[in-house]
Chain A
């Protein structure tokens, strides 16, 4: 059970939220958008690897 991933995603979320605020305040909306997008992509990569792990374990468990 690797709980680290949950904390990692929460940290990425908080950091991107803060960056988004700062960049929006300094008037760089396009950079804020880019940081949001990058954060979502990074998190999605983590989640996808975990989902494939789950599918593999289910497949071996139930002999599909």
Chain B
């Protein structure tokens, strides 16, 4: 069972981080980062087959590949932004975490602009 493994790794890492927090807070932060990365990489390899299925459905439904890849990019940006912001907030830097989240929102908006433009085109075509 994979979830058991992940929970065990999390508990052990939490114990180590608590032990180290008294003496060396920066090492505790490093442990939390590494634990998050290990779990994340482990999970993201599982996501591969789901991606294949989604892509298959997108090809079957005749969805433009531009839109599908845009959605995937948005999901990736959201994951990574959340990860970085969480770690900064854990380390006690709420301001930096807020800035990371803001940057993620702006970049997602920039990526989503072509879809918005396409929507606008359709609307203008419908309403002459």
Q: In the complex, are the beta carbons of A10 and B79 less than 8 A apart?
A: no
Q: In the complex, are the beta carbons of A3 and B72 less than 8 A apart?
A: no
Q: Across the interface, name the chain B residue whose C-beta is closest to A8.
A: B34
Q: How many A-B residue pairs have CB under 8 A?
A: 97
Give the number of chain A interface residues (Cβ < 8 Å).
33
Q: In the complex, are the beta carbons of A3 and B9 less than 8 A apart?
A: yes
Contacts of B47 in A (CB 8 A): 61
Min CB distance, B84 to chain A, in Å? Answer: 9
Contact among A10, A36, A57 for B16, CB-based, below 8 A: A10
Q: In the complex, are the beta carbons of A5 and B34 less than 8 A apart?
A: yes
Q: In the complex, are the beta carbons of A10 and B20 less than 8 A apart?
A: yes
The answer to the question of B60 belonging to the interface, with a C-beta cut-off of 8 Å to chain A, is no
Give the number of chain B interface residues (Cβ < 8 Å).
35
Q: In the complex, are the beta carbons of B27 and A10 less than 8 A apart?
A: yes
- The listed residue with most B CB atoms (<10 A of its CB), out of A5, A12, A53, A61, is A61
Contacts of B33 in A (CB 8 A): 47, 50-51
Report B's interface with A, CB cutoff 8 A. Answer: 5, 9, 12-13, 16, 19-20, 23-24, 26-28, 30-31, 33-35, 37-42, 44-45, 47-48, 51, 69, 72-73, 75-76, 79-80
Ordered by A's residue number, 9 sampled pairs between the chains whose C-beta atoms are within 8 Å are A1-B41, A6-B12, A12-B27, A14-B23, A16-B24, A20-B23, A54-B40, A58-B44, A61-B47
